[in-house]
Structure 1
Amino acid sequence: MVAHLVRLRLTLLGNTLRRSVWQTIGLAVAVLYGLSVVTVLVGAAIVGGRTDPGLTGDALTLVGALVVLGWWVVPLFAFGLDSTLDPMRFTTFAIPRRTLLTGLAVAGLVSVPAAVTALAALGSALAWSTDVLALVAALLGAVAALALCVVGSRAITTLCAPLLDSRRYREVLMVAAIVPLLAIGPFFAWLSSVTAGSSGTTVTLDGGEGTEDAVGAAASVVAWTPFGAPWAWAGAVHDGAWGRLAAQVLVVVATLVLAVVVWDRALARTLVTPRGGGRDAGRTRGLGWFARVPATPTGAVIARCATYWLRDPRYAASLALVPLMPLVVVVLGVSSGAGAGLLLLVAPLAAFVLGFGLSNDVGYDNTAFALHVATGTSGRADRWGRVVPVVVLGVPLVVGLAVAGVAVAGRWADLPAMLGLTLGVLGAALGVSSAVSTRLVYPVPKPGESAFKTVQGAAMATMLAQGVAFLATTALMVPTLAVGLPALLLPSAPLGAVALAVGLATAVVVLVVGVRVGARTYERRLPELLAQVTAFS
């Protein structure tokens, strides 16, 4: 049965690749990227092991702990990331639970992330090639770490499956996931500034040697956690600390046993009490937005899109970025020494994010797009119906961010230029998105799936479509930027007034032209759009 599950996993992967050339290209790119990462990591480990084995071992412990932690945490944020061997699919088969458990664990190794992790873990063991006993311990630790990755990931996802089926939980978790993701860049910027600003180039901790002592202190703590313990075995053998090695082995074994028990219990619950398919039994009253808009085709599209922006987690990802931008910019400003002046960037960035959110709106419709075809919705109604909710929501939001930015920075004279830049970016992005979304449609996460899910084979198409939209928006903003940036840098009140006028004119013209172009393209390519969207479902 274990071999059968592995063959099933390979068959599903092969069928996926044969179904789409883009998926094959995406897999090839992922493999090449993974091999490049492995090559760099293994090369650095070998060189570091020959120059400073102690520091290299500490660094490998920290990096390895992050890898194991990522295997455990990422599936909670990217629910539905890999459901080819979902235990729910085996509910009707009389497979012994322990056999199914073993088969799912082994089949979990058949993936690009698992292969990259295995190669990196085994290859990094070569850092201890000058010490035979440490090398053996490093290889055993790599195998144990890989087991922790796969078993821990499966145990957590199976245990949390009922929560992952809850739509409200997914929405809250998705927003919560954005916070640490956005904080990564500012954190490293702050860390770099602190490292460079203390003692010349390094930070002194407890009278130590700076960065090297900081890495060693962090590794000595992480090595006693389940995430870092297997990576620290080789260092313990190298130092001759056999008692420490025995304790760290005990930590790993106990964690694996606990993970297997948790996974077994959760799997038993899943097989006996199947989940409800992820549908919430929420209660709705009235027609919602449909009762608040005119009873016209355009009004119907407005109501539907407004509902998406407020209730669809995939759209909520764009909205969640907007209120977090000021926080990230403040951290960057403090760490870089730029001060509050960076807050002037928040409003234009937020405007671009909101406008760019429509660049693949047809793809996000999924099967609901068939309603537009069946009811004969015109291109004009479709395009304006998608734009109006963003305009109604976005204009007050970005104007408020622009006013708040100049208020905090104490640069009220720059308000006209800021409004011109912000509204110009919003209008240009909406106009370009309205035109592009009827021409370049690419696969996106389906309704109910994680907003962070990466659809196989969609990487190249996504990069092409988003690159075209970004370049077109930037090109159309050149007149506004040519006036607005000097108005902010000089500063100049007359130039600010001109920037406001140019920005508003650019926004209106690009938006109207973009909607018209998108409407004509929509009506001409309606069958092709339906075929593309249907193929994604």
Structure 2
Amino acid sequence: MAAVVNSPDPRAAADITAAGGALHGSVRSLALVRLLARLKWILWRRSFRKNVGKLVGTIFGGLYGVGGMVALVALVSVLVAADADGGLLPVVVRGLGTVLVLVWVLLPLVAFGIDDSLDPRKLAVYPRTAKELQPGLLVAAAISLPTLFTVLGVGIVSVGVVVWAALHAAGPLWMVLAILAVIPAHLSGIVLCLLLPRAVLAHQASRASSRRGRELGGVIGIAVVLAAVYGFSLLGQTMDGATIAFWERVLPLASRIGAWTPLGALFAVPVDLAEGSVLPALVRALIGAATIVVVWLWWRRSLDLAMRSALVGDASSGDAKVSALVPRLARSTPFGAVMGRSLRYWRRDSRYFASIVIMPVMLAFFVCMGLVNPDSRATSYMGVLLVGAISGITLANEVGFDGPAGWVNITAGVPARANLRGRVAAMALFTTPFLLLAAIAVPLLMGGAQFILPLVLGTLGLTVGGWGVSSLIGTLMPYPTAAPGTNPMKDRSSSSASAMVAMLAATAGVFVPQLPALGIAIWGLVAQAPMIVLAAGMLSLAIGIIVLVFGLRLAEKRLESGYVDLFQRVHHHV
């Protein structure tokens, strides 16, 4: 509200006056709704200033949305026109309704389109209860591009349901009841779509959801999203006649089950009435109404807790353990201190922890590709090498991840050699055992035990080479990042131009030196010469070690001479 209070816009001042003349005392509900909606509109409009990335992303999102609406119109038209017995459209409507609400539930995790600028904690200083704020926050939540396309999409489906009911309803009475139920049922579904992410976000902002829980939730969100994307990709690759017949049986069943859940109940009511199923329609209407009431009350409680915690402050959990900074396996030297600090980062900071979670998910995808399609077994081996390379590239912005805390290294006089090598050692402790296990287990699963040693050597070569390249890139092109504890799915720092350039440079630095080893490996595989393949693995490891040594030396010189200048680039979180 401060943005509106301090705004020179006379219309904003008029809204405040209408809301009660001041931000205390009684207030009319409609005036507060208008005020919060106007505030959200101002904040959303101003968020595009000097933010080219968001503007471009919104434009592309709008284009994808328009394309999706065109595809939805075509789908509904085909279903209405080509479905002779009228049994297909109800299945599609029930399924689409369930998926739509499910996507909105997942929005707080993937953070596409969810603008939490009206965080309840920011409103805690104003004398307004959660009950007073809820209607305005709900209306403000509707000011977004996803809401616009949701309304358009539901409108398109509603028109299709009306036409379908006129053609295939069980009788004139059921046709009229279905048409009358379309607008309230589908509008209630849209309200549920808006309520669920607001309730989840408010819960995440409350003390009932600890910071560690929110961080783990973000990491789990990454794993779920990646697993879903990889799962759909695998599904597309395994489509054949038997698989298609299987899904023709499973999808209608899933649609019927989803219609009995709070996710899809409301969207199923009109088609139930058109089919003459009045009892299922009434039960599903009650399920949908009860869901809205429960979510509304949950949201109110989470708002109260969030605003209260914002005023009181987050208390420590009380179970924090104090441990030595330098781990037992290292000496009490600057190197040991840096390694110990980095180990804590990898365990506690969601920005680091997320990169560890991604690796097994990616590897599982490549392994599944090899298992479901014997012709793609080579992809599984490539997946191990790719995960090894990515684990090395992860260190490409260590200076940026330090952020404002980098001044400690400068004032304490930590040698650049210890500063960089301690970070590499911590990374090695976390990732090397997993990579070695993967390089051994994958060939055994694929029936290629003869490739274990070359794969181990090649994976280590890419990994250690990645450490050297990343250390150098991190001292040449650091970029500011989000603060520790940020939900990884809501971190936009990695989408900046500086981050993209740095990642491209690091990727090229890892793979380009390995091209000779790759060429020899291909030669050995084509010639079916195991010794040549083994030589390629040994060459890859040798190249990786050389890149690591030279990369660290150059990075140490750069950090020693220009740490202060590098700190100025990253001393603020974004």
> How would you bin the TM-score normalised by the shorter chain?
0.7 to 0.9
Q: Give 2:145's aligned residue.
A: 112
Q: Give 2:262's aligned residue.
A: 226
Q: Give 1:422's aligned residue.
A: 459
Match of 2:300 among 229, 249, 264: 264
Q: Give 1:13's aligned residue.
A: 44
Report whether the alignment pairs 1:203 with 2:245: yes
Match of 1:255 among 291, 299, 313: 291
Q: 1:9 to 1:328 in 2, by over 3 A?
A: same
CA distance in 1, matches of 2:323, 2:446: 45
Match of 2:121 among 67, 82, 88: 88
Worse-matched range after superposition: 248-257 or 162-171: 162-171
Matches within 5 A, 1:62-81: 62-75=95-108
Larger Rg: 2
Worse-matched range after superposition: 346-355 or 24-33: 24-33
Q: 1:48 to 1:309 in 2, by over 3 A?
A: same
CA distance in 2, matches of 1:91, 1:354: 42
Contact 1:9–1:107 (8 Å) recurs in 2: yes
CA distance in 2, matches of 1:402, 1:454: 31
Q: 1:38 to 1:361 in 2, by over 3 A?
A: farther
Q: Give 1:217's aligned residue.
A: 253
Q: 1:170 to 1:262 in 2, by over 3 A?
A: closer
Q: Report the RMSD for the aligned CA atoms in angstroms.
A: 3.5
Worse-matched range after superposition: 37-46 or 428-437: 37-46
Match of 1:384 among 421, 424, 442: 421
CA distance in 1, matches of 2:134, 2:436: 55
Report whether the alignment pairs 1:307 with 2:344: yes
Counterpart AA for 2:56? I
Report whether the alignment pairs 1:100 with 2:133: yes
Report whether the alignment pairs 1:413 with 2:455: no
Q: Give 1:51's aligned residue.
A: 82
Contact 1:58–1:232 (8 Å) recurs in 2: no
CA distance in 1, matches of 2:496, 2:188: 32
**CA positional deviation for 1:308:** 0.9
**CA positional deviation for 1:225:** 1.8
Q: 1:174 to 1:272 in 2, by over 3 A?
A: closer
Contact 2:370–2:446 (8 Å) recurs in 1: no
3-state SS of the aligned residue for 1:358?
helix
Counterpart AA for 1:335? V
Match of 2:154 among 105, 108, 121: 121
TM-score, normalised on structure 2?
A: 0.80
**CA positional deviation for 1:71:** 2.1
Worse-matched range after superposition: 184-193 or 423-432: 184-193
CA distance in 2, matches of 1:7, 1:507: 57
**CA positional deviation for 1:227:** 1.1
CA distance in 1, matches of 2:307, 2:238: 52
Report whether the alignment pairs 1:404 with 2:448: no
Q: Give 2:432's aligned residue.
A: 395
CA distance in 2, matches of 1:467, 1:41: 37
Counterpart AA for 1:149? C
CA distance in 1, matches of 2:494, 2:444: 45
Contact 1:46–1:124 (8 Å) recurs in 2: no
CA distance in 2, matches of 1:115, 1:287: 53
Contact 1:329–1:343 (8 Å) recurs in 2: yes
CA displacement, residues 44-63 of structure 1 (integer Å, 9 cap, x when unaligned):
33444433364344224323
Contact 1:302–1:385 (8 Å) recurs in 2: yes
CA distance in 1, matches of 2:313, 2:113: 15
**CA positional deviation for 1:342:** 5.5
CA distance in 1, matches of 2:80, 2:315: 49
Match of 1:318 among 355, 358, 374: 355
Contact 1:189–1:332 (8 Å) recurs in 2: no
Q: 1:303 to 1:124 in 2, by over 3 A?
A: same
Match of 2:392 among 342, 348, 355: 355
**CA positional deviation for 1:87:** 1.7
**CA positional deviation for 1:348:** 1.6
**CA positional deviation for 1:137:** 4.7
Unaligned runs of 5+ in 2: 1-31, 167-175
Unaligned runs of 5+ in 1: 205-209
Percentage of identical aligned residues: 27
**CA positional deviation for 1:440:** 3.9
Q: Give 1:245's aligned residue.
A: 281
3-state SS of the aligned residue for 1:387?
helix
3-state SS of the aligned residue for 1:448?
coil
CA distance in 2, matches of 1:390, 1:449: 21
Q: 1:214 to 1:317 in 2, by over 3 A?
A: same
CA displacement, residues 112-132 of structure 1 (integer Å, 9 cap, x when unaligned):
333333333334434346357
Match of 2:373 among 336, 340, 344: 336
CA displacement, residues 352-380 of structure 1 (integer Å, 9 cap, x when unaligned):
23112112323322322233344455554
Counterpart AA for 1:166? S
Q: 1:448 to 1:515 in 2, by over 3 A?
A: same
Counterpart AA for 2:483? K
Counterpart AA for 1:219? S
Q: 1:202 to 1:290 in 2, by over 3 A?
A: closer
3-state SS of the aligned residue for 2:369?
helix
Contact 1:9–1:85 (8 Å) recurs in 2: yes
3-state SS of the aligned residue for 2:320?
coil
Q: 1:33 to 1:44 in 2, by over 3 A?
A: same
CA distance in 2, matches of 1:236, 1:297: 70
**CA positional deviation for 1:507:** 0.4
Contact 2:204–2:214 (8 Å) recurs in 1: no
Q: 1:189 to 1:23 in 2, by over 3 A?
A: closer
Q: 1:534 to 1:108 in 2, by over 3 A?
A: farther
CA distance in 2, matches of 1:525, 1:124: 60
Counterpart AA for 1:474? F
CA distance in 1, matches of 2:467, 2:113: 30
CA displacement, residues 429-459 of structure 1 (integer Å, 9 cap, x when unaligned):
2233223333444454421121222427935
Report whether the alignment pairs 1:151 with 2:195: yes
3-state SS of the aligned residue for 2:143?
coil
CA distance in 1, matches of 2:140, 2:321: 42
